[in-house]
Amino acid sequence: MKKYLFTLLILCVIISCTTNNEEEELEIIEYDCTPATEINGWQRMQFNHAHTISIPNDYRDYNFTQKSGIYFSQRKIGDRITFNGGHCDEARYPCSVNEYRDKKTIEDNASTAEYWNNGEIAYFTNRILVCQDGVPVAYFFYEFGSPTGFRDSFGEIYLKDPKDNKFKMAGYVQFAKSLSEETFNIIKSIKAN
């Protein structure tokens, strides 16, 4: 009798323990990874020591190079698009170029970055991720402003610093929303050396 009760107890335990065969749904985040592209007729130039970019021929060049880095500045004739990379430490004279802003970094899978808007922290709502051979090389976070026909939109470029493999702010862009396609094609041309 004890064997019978013990067997019955085991069966009850087995029956009451059901397994959930349903697979749990995992949220998989897939980012649009745009391959770095070339546009025929555009000039390829150094954005900084580790990256290049292609620019149309109707841009004025204000770049300068120092041992410490490259200050990249390109303006479309009419100033409706401006690209600026690196920054000058104005506390030093002459200015000392830094290619990255070390304190402004993002994770390599970031969906947004923060910026200052009227004295408050805000977050970009748009992003382009540029990849080279399937590996992220550049993030461009941007916002569209009210279409005024001039530079009503802006964004920040984050590139991987080869010294520590962190994505750091390397430049910013101001552009007319009406010229966003050209702006995005320039961004999509960024490549690592």
Structure tokens at 179: 């010229």
H helix and E strand count, the chain: 2, 17
d(CA 175, CA 173): 6
Kindly report each contact of residues 177-180 with a partner whose C-beta sits within 8 Å and lies 24 or more positions away, as own/partner.
Answer: 177/144, 177/145, 177/147, 177/152, 177/153, 178/147, 178/149, 179/76, 179/80, 179/81, 180/144, 180/153
| pTM, 2 dp | 0.78
Amino acid at 58: D
8 A C-beta contact, residue 169 and residue 157 = yes
Domain ranges, ordered by start, for the chain: 46-192
Q: For position 34, what pLDDT does the model report?
A: 85
CATH of 46-192, one of 3.40.1000, 3.30.70, 1.20.120, 3.30.1490: 3.40.1000
Q: For position 118, what pLDDT does the model report?
A: 84
pLDDT tens by residue, the chain, 193 residues = 555 545 544 544 455 544 444 444 544 445 568 888 888 899 999 999 899 999 999 999 887 777 777 888 899 998 899 998 887 766 666 666 778 876 899 998 899 999 988 889 999 999 999 999 888 999 999 999 866 667 889 999 999 988 898 999 999 999 999 999 999 999 999 999 9
- How many other C-beta atoms can be found within 10 angstroms of the C-beta atom of residue 97? 21
